[in-house]
Structure 1
Amino acid sequence: MTGVVALAAIAVWPFYLFVTFRDSQGIVDVQGGTNHLWWAIGVGLIACLASFLVFSVFLRYDKDNEMHITSV
C-alpha cells in the first residue's frame, strides 16, 4: 500500500514540472514540457493499476466462510 502512495507522489512531480514549464526566457510555455505530462500520465496509470491489484488481493471474497444452502 505504501508503494501505491509512493507511485502517486512520484506521478505528481512530473505533472508539476509540466504545469510550471518555462522556456529559455522564463515565460510559462503551454506547449512545452509535454514529455513531463506523458511521464505523469504513465506513472499515474501504473499507480492506478497497482492500487487495483492491491485492493483486489486484500479485499477478495472469502470462499472458506461460504455456507452452502444444504449445510447445517
Structure 2
Amino acid sequence: QLDEHANRLAHYLQTKYSVGNGVLVGIFQERSEWQVISILGIMKAGAAYVPVDPAYPQERIRYILSDSDLRVLL
C-alpha cells in the first residue's frame, strides 16, 4: 500500500506540476505515515524534497519558502 500511494503521488506530481529531475518540492507536514509517502513519492518523481517543520518559527518558515524556489508545497 505504501508503494501504491507513493506511485500515485509521483504520477500526480509529474503530470499536474511537471515535477522531475532538479525540481524542489516542499513538505510542510507533521510526522506521520503521509510524510513518508510524500518523501517516497517526490523521490519516485525524480525530484528533491525540502522539509519544512511546522514547529519552526513563522519567520524561518517564510524564509525557507521564499528562498528555496519550490514548485509545489505538500
Q: Same fold (TM over 0.5)?
A: no
| Higher normalized helix content (fraction of residues) | 1
Q: Which has the larger radius of gyration?
A: 1
User: What is the TM-score normalised by the length of structure 2?
Assistant: 0.26
User: What is the TM-score normalised by the length of structure 1?
Assistant: 0.27
| Higher normalized strand content (fraction of residues) | 2
